[in-house]
Structure 1
Amino acid sequence: MGETITLTASDGHTLSAWQDGPQDASRALVVVQEIFGVNRHIRNVCARFAAQGYRVIAPALFDRVQRGVELGYTADDVATGRALRAKVPEAGPVLDIEAAAAALPAGAKRGIVGYCWGGTVAWWGATRTRSFAASSCWYGGGIAATRTETPTCPVQMHFAEKDASIPLSDVELIRAAQPGVEIFVYAGAQHGFGCDERASFSRADAELAQERTLAFFAKHLG
């Protein structure tokens, strides 16, 4: 069973986080939230990775603005999530994922996986830190804007063909800038296809993306 813990970032900020999985795991992950907080969906994501033997921690990135945020997926929730994200200091998410990485089991090989906003943060985990041995980024809308940053670990990305917020032209820009990154595009899928609480959920695409993510981490985390 998972539980809430408290982390302290290098700038002294304290934040909550959800942890799950075996404490003696040899492989560990930081799971990065969407713009909806560490909600039921993110806890379920953590549980799925924990069931595969990973120790996982999902830091509450919104704690720098408002604590205890758990949103749903209505239009109002989207607006609230976007407003909160806009208030998070630029350096905050990176400091918070580093704090989460440091709290994972000593000696475990560490990866990072993120969704939506978290997909972008997972990219930054690969480019702005040296905390991770692999990064899997699901439909990160901010990746294109920072596509020229240099990753320090293997990176895999998942995008939706019909994503209204991430045009395929952005995906092609990322491909051109990062030829070493493994990029998958899911035909007919929409933004958020991996979340079973969204109307855009696509079970087949979510399962395939998860299979690819697990294989990627098995390869690079041992």
Structure 2
Amino acid sequence: MAGHNPMPNSSPAMTRRGFVTATLAAGFALAVRPISAATIATDEAELTAGEIRISTGDGPMPAYRAKPQSGAGFPVVLVVQEIFGVHEHIKDVCRRFAKLGYLAIAPELFTRQGDVSKMTDIDEIRSKVVSQVPDAQVLSDLDAAVAWAKESGEGNIERLGITGFCWGGRIVWLYAAHNPQLKAGVAWYGRLAGNPTPLQPKHPLDVASSLKAPVLGLYGAEDKGIPLDTVEQMKATLQSAGGTSQFVIYPNAPHAFHADYRPSYRKEAAEDGWKRLQDWFKKNGVA
């Protein structure tokens, strides 16, 4: 990726910063301990998995990559982190995809703003790091990950999907409006509405009518942070735009019901959502 040019949507906020996080965190983020006994651990047998460096317009970005050990030209799935960064849970999700035959890439999208893995307070993570991350930077970094998949020869970007959780679920919707190469997305309980800021000028509701790929939204009816009325607004906007995006609402599920390392985990909803994700990617030309 030497010589890779900055993406057109690069912003001054992206280039003024150095890279705070030079490598990925080991283990789980401190803010999510203790780790639940239900935590899923996917091994690396028959996989190639580990940290890589992805060239961006202002330096190398750490990312986690997992793929089958043999072969090439795998379908590509971008895995977008929660607010806790690319810690062990996100790495494990990448390995789960690799076991299914995908090249999974999880870029550390907070790398310029701070190392959230060492922070113990969720409010501090939100205020000092997450709120400081420009959407334009995130979309550009995801584009850089797609370029890496292509230039490395490991992935077939004609079969490109994206999934993300919580903070990353919101990003899935934005990326589906951003990249015309995308085949499909799956957003796990990502926020749909909010007040615009200079760094986050638009939310999924604002781009719902201009999606370039269908998104499957997986949400919990008991999610205290995402009002169901915003889900209904999103559904109505998508329907009026004539797209094929869909929602599944799990009746007894809270926020972060897929996060098996946390008390919010709901096994039945998580497993159903994972199956629906696979079916969605197959239906829309990713798998």
Question: Could you tell me the TM-score, scaled by structure 2's length?
Answer: 0.71
CA offset at residue 101 of structure 1? Answer: 1.4
Matched, 1:151 2:151: no
Structure 2 distance, partners of 1:7, 1:56, is: 14
Matched, 1:113 2:163: yes
Matched, 1:207 2:271: yes
Higher mean Cα deviation, 185-194 or 121-130? 121-130
Structure 2 distance, partners of 1:216, 1:78, is: 32
Structure 2 distance, partners of 1:90, 1:201, is: 28
CA offset at residue 106 of structure 1? Answer: 4.7
Higher mean Cα deviation, 127-136 or 138-147? 138-147
Structure 2 distance, partners of 1:114, 1:138, is: 6
CA offset at residue 143 of structure 1? Answer: 5.4
Conservation of the 8 A alpha-carbon contact between 1:5 and 1:16: yes
SS in 2 for 1:57: strand
One-letter code aligned to 2:55: T
Cα gap change, 1:70 to 1:142, in 2 (>3 Å): farther
Q: Matches of residues 1-222 of structure 1 in structure 2 within 5 Å?
A: 1=44, 2-9=49-56, 11-22=57-68, 24-67=72-115, 69-70=116-117, 76-83=120-127, 84-104=129-149, 105-108=154-157, 109-142=159-192, 145-149=203-207, 150-179=210-239, 180=243, 181-220=245-284, 221-222=286-287
Structure 1 distance, partners of 2:155, 2:87, is: 27
Conservation of the 8 A alpha-carbon contact between 2:75 and 2:155: no
Structure 2 distance, partners of 1:71, 1:208, is: 32
| Count of aligned pairs between the two proteins | 217
Higher mean Cα deviation, 58-67 or 29-38? 58-67
Conservation of the 8 A alpha-carbon contact between 2:85 and 2:117: yes
Instruction: Report the identity percentage.
Output: 33
Structure 2 distance, partners of 1:94, 1:217, is: 21
One-letter code aligned to 2:178: R
Deviations 1:144-170 (A, max 9, x none): 743131111121111110101001011
SS in 1 for 2:264: coil
Misfit runs of 4+, over 2 Å: 11-14, 69-72, 105-108, 142-146
One-letter code aligned to 2:171: V
Any stretches of 5+ residues in structure 1 without a counterpart? none
Conservation of the 8 A alpha-carbon contact between 1:156 and 1:183: yes
Instruction: State the superposition RMSD in angstroms.
Output: 1.8
Structure label with greater radius of gyration: 2
Deviations 1:171-202 (A, max 9, x none): 00110111231111011100000001111100
